Amino acid sequence: MKKVLDLIIVGAGIAGVNAAVYAKRSGLTFKIFESKAIGGQLFYMERIDNYLGLKLGTKGRELAKILSESLSGLDVSVENEQVTEIKQQEGVFQVSTSKGQHETKAVILATGSSFRKLGLANEIKLTGRGVSYCAVCDGFFFKGKNVAVVGGGNTAVEEALYLSSFAKKVTLIHRRNELRALEYLTKNLSEKDNVNIIYNHTIKKILGQQQLKGLILEESDKGGARELSLDGLFVAIGTSPNTEICRQLVSTDENGFITTDSKMKTSNDFVWACGDCRRRPLRQLITAASEGAIASIEVYKKVRQSYLSV
């Protein structure tokens, strides 16, 4: 008969990896599944300046490597499989993946989030053909070219700053009359000669058949349209949670983020959530990592019915 595991962790971003570290150290029997690569969103980060213990300017992929090595050092292997369904039957979860079926007493959801799309015609077709969601990943291809970034928060300004070091011209398009980014970022941006900001405009149309050619912009409220010729468009309008697989299992808020208590427990007594897939006030590496640790310790207490004084 197939063994029922204590725990299955879905996702090996920093939240899931830290959950695995604590699960291992607690002696739980568990598996961790990752559909892409260990590190999740770390692969989109050019430099990290706010993760205590890391040297300033460490690249995201360097931290991803450290996470992989930490797991190997603890003898934890990550299964490279996508979790496709989680069903609860008679007190046990049946977890289906792209390669098989597993049973577990508890689940930690650490599925993170993905870039939000504009939802315009042509957007998907031209992704990789001028449209991108990650300057760190694709910026290199736009050396000496005209690019635009759409968005007004920290990520959008960071993307514009990053691109300004090699693109010919960067246009930041924002639908409101002021940016929402932190002051030091907007100050840095204002010092760049090759960056221009278009306020109060939204993108109405993405132009191009096989390759991005430009955009039709519409002035917010007034409705006047203008055309902008471009080689590249970077969409930086936030992220949405990867919670489609668990919406029947746990409660989510109006934006799809999983709601939990302060110990990461969801509306389901045997499911916990941590990191960017849950509703939380600060979506950062440091908080995602600590939430993974809390979730695993809570699973340990529940599954083993042992109450540690932590």
Ligand X SMILES: Cc1cc2nc3c(=O)[nH]c(=O)nc-3n(C[C@H](O)[C@H](O)[C@H](O)COP(=O)(O)OP(=O)(O)OC[C@H]3O[C@@H](n4cnc5c(N)ncnc54)[C@H](O)[C@@H]3O)c2cc1C
138, 231, 246, 277: the active-site residue: 138
Is 183 strand, coil or helix?
helix
Taking the complex as a whole, how short is the minimal distance between the CB of residue 275 and ligand X, in angstroms? 2
Asked whether the beta carbons of 296 and 263 are under 8 A apart, the reply is no
Active site includes 231? no
Please tell me whether residue 288 binds ligand X under the rule CB under 6 A. yes
Q: Does 15 bind ligand X (CB under 6 A)?
A: yes
Does 80 engage in binding with ligand X (CB under 6 A)? no
Q: Which is nearer to ligand X, 181 or 217 (CB)?
A: 181
CA R_g for the chain: 21
Q: Can you say whether the dihedral through the CA atoms of 260, 263, 267, 271 is positive or negative?
A: positive
Tokens of 38: 């260990």
Of 61 and 205, the one with the shorter C-beta distance to ligand X is: 61
Lateral strand order in the sheet of 146-150: 131-132, 232-235, 146-150, 169-173, 195-198
Please say if 134 is a catalytic residue: yes
* Shortest CB 282 distance to ligand X, Å: 8
Of 101-120, which residues contact ligand X (CB under 6 A)? Answer: 110-113
**Are 233 and 130 a contacting pair, CB within 8 Å?**
yes
For the question of residue 138 being annotated catalytic, the response is yes
Q: Does 10 bind ligand X (CB under 6 A)?
A: yes
Which segments of 73-112 are extended strands (E)? 78-79, 83-89, 92-97, 101-109
Residues with catalytic function = 134, 137-138
Binding site for ligand X (CB under 6 A): 10-16, 33-36, 40-41, 44-45, 48, 50-51, 82-83, 110-113, 155, 242, 245, 275-276, 283-286, 288
